[in-house]
Structure formats: structure tokens, C-alpha cells
Amino acid sequence: MLKAVIFDMDGVLINSEPYYLQQRLDYFKLLGIDVSDEHVQNMTGGNMKIALPQLLPGKTAAQYARIRRGYRYFKSQHPQDFNAMLMPDTRRVLQHLKEQNIRMALASSSDRQTINTMLATTGLKEYFETTLSGEDFERSKPDPSIYLTALEKLAIDAKDAAAVEDSEMGIAAAKAAGIFTFAVAVDDPRVATDQSQADYRLRKLGQLPGAVTLMRGHLQ
């Protein structure tokens, strides 16, 4: 029986991917780094830990760390309005799941500071029993570590959970952890995301409650 839903953040709860993508492109432009269309695709659903070795191969760990620190400072000087980014159905969906006694966790590739700021400014923190950041793990999505840890913290089996993702890497991570995976459609025309490995595809987040009801009925 479905007991918990584990959410990705960017592109699922908040429509942040276009903002983050442009922010990263602006930062790389400031550094004099050209970003190809292929690298634009690779930056979707990941974080700077993943993007930098692909974009700038051959650098040392210290050099990558210095660039990431510069990016964190750049972001602090260009803050995002997370309330404006909220998907239209986010609050309704989370409240519905809470009323159905479905537990919730957040498993995002974003850094801890961004996650905490988003939850604090939007008032969504109350819905999540646990929040996990990609920077807490040696390996980021598509590695399943973040999802396996979420299951451990919730003390449930993979068969009793569902994940909600949007990116190919996120879907792969959830599936590798053995979790039934919903995929929310990506509207950004710059990003061609392969969601074919998801178990169920949603046109928008607002369809999740109905899909969860069908899923729970099927599993009972």
C-alpha cells in the first residue's frame, strides 16, 4: 500500500528550471565559458557538481570547488522569488496528500541552502518529514543514493513509496531505488527530457492526487 511520496523540487514543486538554467548560463558567461546545447541538456535536473566536470573536464577538485563557491555567491547576489516559482497546484496537492495521511519527503539535487530558503519562504516545510540535498551525497542523481536514504529515513520499503520527478536523471535515480515513479511534463522548449522510463506520466502536478488514488486502489 502506498504510504509515502518522495518529491523532487525543481521542475516539480517549483517551476525553477528555466530560472536556474538562465542563472547558470549568466554565471558561465561572466566567467567567459561558452555552453553548448548538449551541456544545456545535461544541466537540467542536476547540480553544479554534475555540470562542471562535463562542461570543464580536467580541472582539479579544488578548482571545481572554487567555481561552485563563486556560483553560490553569484546566486546570493541574484536571489530568486520562490513564491512566484511555485507550480499552480503545489499547495493543493501537498495538502491533499497530508489529509490522506500520505507521508512526504523531499529529495532534491539542489544545494541545502536553496532547499531551506525555498521551504521557508513558501511555507512548505511543514509538509515534509525529511528533506535531502544532492550536496549531502558523494554521488548525485541518477545514482539512487538520495532515494535509498529517503526510504531509510521514512523507514518504509520501496514498494510502499512513489517518487515524483521531471528529469531523466531524477527518474533514473528513483527507478534504480525500486520506486514507482511519476513524471511531470517539462514545458521548457530548450530542454528535451526523456521521461520514457517513468511508470506514469503527468501533464501537470495537479493530476497527482487522482493518479495516487488510482494507485492506492490498485495496490489494496
Confidence of residue 42 (pLDDT cuts 50, 70, 90): low
pLDDT reported for residue 18: 76
pTM: 0.80
Three-state DSSP class for residue 63: helix
Cβ pair 2, 162 in contact under 8 A: yes
Angle, nearest 10°, between helix axes 48-55 and 17-30? 40
Does residue 83 sit in helix, strand or coil? helix
pLDDT confidence band for 218 (50 / 70 / 90): low
In this prediction, residue 55 carries a pLDDT of 81
pLDDT, tens digit, 9 for 90 and up, residues 141-162: 999 999 999 999 999 999 999 9
Give the domain 4-14+82-219 fold. Answer: Rossmann fold (3.40.50)
What is the DSSP secondary structure assignment for residue 167, as one 8-state letter? S
* pLDDT score, position 219: 54
Q: Per mean pLDDT, which range of 59-68, 71-80, 178-187 is the poorest?
A: 71-80
Of 49, 51, 127, 132, nearest to 86 (Cα)? 127
Q: Quote the cell numbers at residue 192.
A: 528535451
- Note the pLDDT tens digit of each residue in 195-210: 999 999 999 999 999 9
Q: pLDDT value at position 41?
A: 62
Residue 68: burial class (beta carbons within 10 Å; 0-12, 13-18, 19+): middle
Angle at 153 between CA 152 and CA 156, to 5 degrees: 55
Q: What is the mean pLDDT of the chain?
A: 89
